Amino acid sequence: MPECINKEELRSKLMEIVENMCTDFVISAINKCIDNLPVADVAPVKHGMWIEVEGDKLVGIDSNGKDMYRYYRYNICAKCGRRSAIKSNFCPNCGAKMDLEEEKNKRD
């Protein structure tokens, strides 16, 4: 997988090393090579975790007058608060990578 680098930092580090050893032609060639490198369209990675929520929810009353409950379980993205039934490696809403420690909450 290719890595992303900062062109200006690379240029600065190389110039520290070669400035006194190379001719202006070589330094110009190095700068041209750096300038011609392809630019990657990258964004910082957001890290998050799923907060697991489970419990029983009152959904109605049956014909005998008793309360009817439904068991539920879903996950909440700690970054954006979006609910998801599927616990994936990334939040489908905000794109956060779910690699932080998981928490379990029980709500009744």
Assess whether 22 and 2 both reside in one domain: yes
89 vs 24: CA distance, rounded Å: 50
65 vs 38: CA distance, rounded Å: 69
Assess whether 26 and 64 both reside in one domain: no
pLDDT in tens, the chain (108 residues): 567 788 888 888 888 888 778 788 888 888 898 888 887 777 788 999 999 999 998 999 999 999 999 999 999 999 999 999 999 999 999 999 998 875 454 444
DSSP characters over 18-72? HTTTS-HHHHHHHHHHHHTSPPP---PPPEE-EEEEEEEEEEEE-TTS-EEEEEE
Assess whether 60 and 90 both reside in one domain: yes
**3-state class of 57 per DSSP?**
strand
Assess whether 28 and 66 both reside in one domain: no
The answer to pTM > 0.85 is: no
